[in-house]
Structure 1
């Protein structure tokens, strides 16, 4: 059961990272970054959430 949850977290994290990357490279995010110096909050939240989910998923997969 633990390996299934780890795999689900890993896949979910990869999906969040993909959407975060596409949001980071969107025109709205680039315009916001040009004006404020920071990307949009959505891009940051998706990238951070994806990274955390991938780390948790890997931890659950390799935990004995």
Structure 2
């Protein structure tokens, strides 16, 4: 039972991190930076990758 609660929490955190990372990636300042220098903010990658990791661990714990 505890693993399922932790898993659900990780799934919710993973979705939230993924959305946050995508918001940073799609922001106006990030688009200008990508257009001028080609760099993507590390916060965007951290949010999307961290969210995916939390999501997969959460799904594994719910099973």
Q: Shared fold (TM-score greater than 0.5)?
A: yes
Provide the rounded CA distance (Å) in 1 between the counterparts of 2:58 and 2:23.
22
1:12 equivalent in structure 2: 13
How many equivalent pairs are there?
A: 62
Select between 6-15 and 37-46 the one with higher mean Cα deviation.
Answer: 37-46
Unaligned runs of 5+ in 2: none
Task: Describe the superposition over 1:15-61 as per-residue Cα deviations: whole angstroms up to 9, x where unpaired.
Answer: 00111111110012111211232311110110010000000000101
Q: 1:41 maps to what in 2? A: 42
Distance in 2 between residues matched to 1:39 and 1:54, nearest whole Å: 22
Structure 1 range deviating more: 52-61 or 27-36: 27-36
Structure 1 unaligned blocks of 5 or more: none
Structure 1 vs Structure 2 CA RMSD: 0.9
